Each structure stands twice: as C-alpha cells, then as structure tokens.
Chains A and B, each alone.
Chain A
Amino acid sequence: MKVSRIIAVAVAVAVLAGCAKKKEDAAGEAAPSSGAAPAYGDAFVEGSIGDVSGFLTAVTGDSASHTAAGYVFNGLVRYDKNLKLEGELAESWEVSPDGRKITFHLRKGVTWHDGKPFTSEDVMFTYRKMIDPNTPTAYAEDFRQVTHASNPDPYTFVVEYEKPFAPALASWGMHVLPKHLLEEYPDISRSPLNKKPVGTGPFRFLEWKTGAKTVFEANPDYFEGRPYLSRVITRVIPDLATMFLELKSGGLDMMGLTPLQYTRQTETEEFRRSFNKYRYLSFGYTYLGFRLSHPLFSDKRVRQAFAYAIHKKEIIDGVLFGLGQEATGPYLPGTWAYNPDVRKYPYDPERAKALLAEAGWKDADGDGILDKGGRKFAFTVLTNAGNDSRAKTAAIIQQSLAAVGAKMEIRTLEWSAFINEFVDKRKFDAVILGWSISQDPDQYDIWSSKKTGPKEFNFIGFANEEVDRLLEEGRRTFDIEKRKKAYFRIQEIMAEEQPYVFLYYPDSLPAVQKRIRGIEPAPAGISYNFIKWYVPKGERKYTSFQP
C-alpha cells in the first residue's frame, strides 16, 4: 500500500505529467529514436494495483482514479515537459498587474466526446460545482479563494481573487466538467458520468469492468490530434509479484519497477530485448518527522544530531539500490524553487553524539543507551503497514540510531488507524512517512502555524514566524523571482531547524515494452507526451482493435 500525500489540486495533472527528473537521460537504457514511422493502431496495456473508484477527479482521491480520468478529461492548464505551466483547454491567459485577476482565453473548436462544443459555460459550471457544498470534493479550498468569476463570452473566463494567489493558476488544472451532462445532478458523484465519463480528452471511455479493467479508445476529434494508440487498457492486478510476472510474459506493456527489480531482476538479455527502462526523480520525498512538542525532540540539537547520525546513503543504497537522491528539504532538485545551498548533514556519528551530549544526553549508566536526569533516550517511530520501503528505512535508521545511543522502537500500523488514532490525535513520538511534492511550490498546508489543528497537515506542530511570513509572501505574488527568494529562505530555515530529517527522493523506474515508440524522457517524466506514443505498423501486438 504505497501511500503518498497529495498536496496540490494539480494532482491530476501531476499524475499524468509524471515526475521531475534531475539530469538528461535515463541511465543506460534510453528510449530508441523513432526508427519506424508513427502509425495509428495497437493497444497499450498497463497495470494498476487498485481499481478506479470513479472518473470525476473532483470527487475521487486515489491515484488510480486520477490516472484514468486523465485520459478522458482536460484542465485549463497543465505542466509541459519542462514543468512549466502551459495551456490545455485555455489557449492563453493574462494575470492582471495587481495579481488579483486571471483572464483565460479558451480554445475554440473543442468538442466533448458526445459532439457538443466546449465553452466557458462549462468552465463556469465546473467552478460552481467545486465550491458547491453538495459536491463531496476535497479540492474546494483553492476555488473558494475566488471572489468573483465571470464568463463574458463563450471563450473567455475571468476569475478574481481577494489577494494575489500564486497557486491559483495551477489549481485550474482541475478537470473541466460538461455542463450539459451534469447540470441536473446536485451531487456529481452520483451522476452516471462518474461511471461513464464524457470529456474533451485524448481518449474516450469505452468500458469499465469493476475490479478487472478499464478500456479507453482514441478520440479522433481530439484538439491536439488523434493519439496514435487506438486503445488504452488498465488491468487491475492487486499483487506486485503477479504484475511483474505479467509484464515479463507480455501481459502488460508498462510497469513501475521497484529498485530491486530495476537493478537485479531486469538485467537479463531476455528482458532487455523486450523492454526499455527509464529512470527519473519522482515528485516526492520520504522523511522522519518529529512531534516538536515531545520532550525528546523539542531541542533543535537533538534533531540535528539525528540528521548527522542517520546514514542517508546507506538508506538509499539499501532501500533504493542507489536509485534516488538524498533529500535536503521539501523541494525537488531541478525545480526552480529548489535551493541547493542549504546546510547539509553528512554522516557523522561522532558529531551526533557531541550534539546530543550538548543537549544533556550522556550514557551515565553505561548500558549503551543515552540518558538524562534518569530518563532514557527511547522512543517509538510509527509508520504504515504494507509499505516495504518505509519498513526497511525504519530498520536501517534503528540501527544507525542505536550506534549513537538512541533507542528506537518501530511500530507499524494499519493506515487508517495510524492516521486517526495517532497522527490526528498527536499521540506519536516520530513518524516515517512521505509527501508528494506539487509542482507549485506553495506548501502552506504543511508548514504554516495556522495549519496545526486536528486533521490538518502540520501535525508535527511546526511554528516559525519567519516561515509563516515567507509562506504568505510566496503565495501572494506571481513574480517568480520574489517567490524564489521566499522559498529559498524557507529551505535555509528548514535545514537549520530540521523539523523533519529529510531522507530521500526516490526515482521513478518505469519499464516499457520495446514496441512502444515516441517516448522522450524530460524533467516531467515520460508520460507527458503519451498521445504521441505509437507502435510501428509491423510490430503491432493487439490486432483485433481497429486502428
């Protein structure tokens, strides 16, 4: 059960756009250049551990549903191969000088899959639904910031905000809904469209066999041109071992490999003959979080000591087989908001012990565990069950900490109980979890001192006046340079304060069947140009589907 937290509304876009990459190309097994000419036809089969729960992104929360929705719907904007915002259903847009008004100029000639034209009415309808209390959506907040929305003509949509709100642009990556098909449903999650979606996207919905598969076919009228692949089929395969076997036997065309599979199990001649492997930094990081009000962790020196004591390279080698990078903060290397010059914590157990001693922790009774005033340095770290990487990370950290005299117990909990009983009620010492990093660098929800309430995401209780101020600064301007300054400074403070020990950014490791051409790795990953992937005529596998 890989669970990542979803920060931005642009999740739908993010999932389709894939993840960022640090350097140019994939390690070794790069994409073949398109030797054979693009051709229409064939089917693309991928696997998913979970089934779709609905096709309307606004009312679903799982990645399987969002991935599926991404084939059928479009947003006003999306992220391009270099992670810059570009227009999708909006051809262009302007932000007013005071930063409070955004005017979107919509594309003309776009039609819904049922033939009706797409207009600003649909965008207005989508906006109204997002803020409608009857819509069970988790993504309303960004839209609530809008003070006034209007559509003066069928191809213009204008929104105004009380104050400039930088994450606003990205929020309009939310999938646009067809007004004419949904207006009669007060709760869109109960509408037939949630099961049989109709969108403007590159693929049309064909079939959803619950628990088994979803099937999409190419939309010949797609405004960017018909995709080359005729069909996209997602098979539900709940077990990773089975999925890997299916990949190897040809039952799947693409799969995200585990680091172990990538390094040791796919190096055979046989595998290389049939598959290309890609590697790029994924948009997320794993961390060790401290409850800052805990007596052990309220002292900054203790947290810093942990950063020195934990051997991040060992974790990356052991858990990721080297396929990842050490993390220094909550931003991804290669993105514009990333500050490479923050304080680093190289592996140094002696320094760690010194810092702990400074904070008053010494081994007075010689039992190998530090103590202070009669209290032992012992705590429990919580993580969620079913996540292999986190369990291994915890085990390695346990060993590293034992070497400096800190005793860490590991407790794995089932996800729901974990969140409800421990995280939300603040009944934890430390946790090992991960966050997804959104493309927009606004991380207000995680770091703002106003977000420390129950069920909110600053559950470690981080409260830093300067960071609060910088977070506001960052989200209230559209000027990239100003935002960059704010976020750079935030990272400096984080590195100093170590509210988390930031552990690693894992790599994304997809393997794709060799017959699929057109894949061009970029900072956004490989899936951003999915509609341009094709299979040369002579290599088609699924011939029963008409091109």
Chain B
Amino acid sequence: MIDSQLAGFLGEGLGIHLGTRDEHRRPNGARAVAVKVDEDGRHLTVYVAKVAAGRVIPDLDANGQAAVDFGRPTDDRACQVKGIFVDARPAKAAERAHVLAQWSAFLDNLERIGIPRDNTVNWTTWPAVAIRLKVTAVFEQTPGPQAGTPLV
C-alpha cells in the first residue's frame, strides 16, 4: 500500500503524530519520534516516546483504531495513514540510531523554518515504544481542498 517513494517521504524527518480514540470516541494522541515502513508496504512501525505511549496504548489495545499524520515543516506537504493496531513492544537498542537519525532530520527541518533546537532540546525521544500497525488507507493531507483524497 505504501510504495518505496512514499515510504522515503515518511521517513525523511517529518512531524509525526499518532491519533487514537477511547470507548467514548474521545480522541487521544501523542507525538511520534520516527517511523519505519515494512518492505511489503502493508505495515509500519511508529516509535513513540515511552512517556507518551501510555496515552495511546490503552486505546489501541481496546479498539485497535489508529491514524498517523505526517507533515514536512518546510512546505507543509502532509499525508495520513490509517491503520489497525498489531502490537507494541519496547524499542530495541539496535533501533535507536534509526530513530534518532529521523528525529534529528525533523529538527533540521524545524530549524529551516526558524525554530531553533533550543526550543526542542527537552523533548523526550528515548526510551521509545515501537507500535506496529497494519495499514488500511493512506490519504493526502497537504492543507487545501485536496486534503482527504485517498492516495492509495
């Protein structure tokens, strides 16, 4: 569902947020640090700081519904992936370099629009929880009238 070109975009250092909802359809969310798309393009893993994961894991356990929003700060190109929760586990030490490289690229993008690293120096990235989702749909999310158009 996610081709290599789109996977490349998702992993280039974007602002990422994971959205869920509880049993009363109240939305919840957390900032994610990085993402990794499986080679088959049908699954992706979202890395969320452990301190934030507690806000979304109970929802995922309860109903499995997830939405992940990706936005590039430098031009607001954005897309949204809808998915179904597969599992969650602590991110491994071996994954840390991948996660932090994406995060650093995101901070570079923020700097390019005038937001210095000083502003984000205390944001928590590690330890992280790896949340795996099965992709069900992908939508254009760049601001404007085309937002919401299916990409896949």
Partners in one complex: no
Q: Chain B: residues with CB nearer than 8 A to chain A?
A: none
